[in-house]
Structure 1
């Protein structure tokens, strides 16, 4: 599925069975709710390194556009991981980047995953 398609879909929290029932008829669950429930397994969150504000990039390299900055104390959900530019951070040196949202990547060296390797599926 293309990134554009993912970004255009509503988040699971934006659509509830009750809201869908009001739109489609009482007791009717939408197909989108079913798909989102199956496609959105419980994902763990991981803290970013203490004392750091973390740049979120549009691609897995430091010269890509900065999308936003995560404040100190943030936690991230890693949807998948991908190789990218090698970065040195508080948790060592690595070329693993964590995809935390559509078009949003952070260096794994700033995320406390408890591992020097992959902890999530590879991004496709």
Structure 2
């Protein structure tokens, strides 16, 4: 917003000037929580590689007793939202009962995901 001002020079006519300062009402910022939420949305997502040479079943829950909802092709990278205990599985990265939640209702065995850890790396699923 620009604001026009008129200044009077000593012993002379009024000289118009322009201020480019922005004047915003405090009400323009709804709350600190809304700013924090916006900043949290910008947090980068980490993706983890599926073991080379493997296509991996994605299941509807944390275990082999859950239905297969899709298959990840070789070379896939996945986000891990949270982790849950489930069926024990042996894979290229050891034997584990940790299942990685990659999307709503989608889990893969951690034994096929290169996380760099034998334990939990993300919060337990709620």
Query: TM over 0.5: same fold?
Result: yes
RMSD over aligned Cα atoms:
2.5
Following superposition of structure 1 onto structure 2, how do residues 22-61 of structure 1 map, counting pairs within 5 Å? 38=40, 41-61=43-63
Higher strand share goes to which structure? 2
Provide closer, same or farther for how the CA distance between residues 64 and 36 of structure 1 changes in structure 2, counting only shifts above 3 A.
farther
- Structure 1 distance, partners of 2:42, 2:82, is 12
Provide closer, same or farther for how the CA distance between residues 40 and 58 of structure 1 changes in structure 2, counting only shifts above 3 A.
farther
- Structure 2 distance, partners of 1:61, 1:36, is 35
- Structure 2 distance, partners of 1:55, 1:37, is 34
Shift of 1:117: 0.5
Specify the alignment match of 1:118 in structure 2. 120
Per the alignment, in what secondary structure is the counterpart of residue 109 of structure 1?
Answer: helix
Specify the alignment match of 1:30 in structure 2. none
Structure 2: give runs of 5+ residues left out of the alignment.
Answer: 1-35
Specify the alignment match of 1:63 in structure 2. 65
